[in-house]
Amino acid sequence: MPNSCKELRDALAACLQQSDCVMVQRNRAADCLRPPLSDTLPKECLQLKRGFGECKRGLVDMRKRFRGNTPAAYGKIQKADDSGAGYQLYGGKTAFGSGVKSTDGNEVEEDWRELENLKYRAELAKKSEGSKA
């Protein structure tokens, strides 16, 4: 198998070996990847399964035949997930690393019209100060 999917495959295998499906219920890892047992897998394993499938599909994708399949570095994904920066599997840069703010649901959203009025008043104040001087 080409090296572009190897890291994802190893991470998926490690995740499956640590899952309850294998450790507690004593199923084979291959059986845990198929329904109905795949519904019991943790979210991380399901994400790795999907990423591995997309990576394998990319190996035969004719649109990628010149540049090759983009390798997904699971180590970078895990570091981004630990830091809370979020990640995008094949984007190169994190998808939500710079602009996501945390909320508790009690924030009051300001009306855009009021914001525009404040900007307009500030511009008028600047113009009136400029004309006084």
* Model confidence pLDDT, tens digit, residues 16-37: 999 998 999 999 988 989 888 8
C-alpha span between 13 and 29 (Å, rounded): 8
Give the pLDDT band (50/70/90) at residue 75.
low
pLDDT of residue 91: 47
Highest mean pLDDT (candidates 29-33, 61-65, 90-94): 29-33
Peptide bond into 71 cis (omega under 30): no
Residue bearing tokens 């914001």: 115
Distance in angstroms between the alpha carbons of the first and the last residue of the chain: 75
Q: pLDDT > 90: what percent of the chain? A: 17
User: How many Cα atoms are found within 13 Å in the side-chain-facing hemisphere of 15?
Assistant: 22
Q: Is the pLDDT of residue 101 over 90?
A: no
Q: pLDDT > 70: what percent of the chain? A: 71
Residue bearing tokens 């100060």: 129
In one-letter notation, the amino acid at residue 43 is K
- Which residues 6+ apart lie within 8 Å of 73 measured at CB? 7
- Please report which helix (H) or strand (E) contains residue 21, including its range: helix 20-23
Mean pLDDT of 83-110: 60
- The structure's pTM equals 0.52
- Please report which helix (H) or strand (E) contains residue 124, including its range: helix 112-132
Q: Is the pLDDT of residue 55 over 80?
A: yes
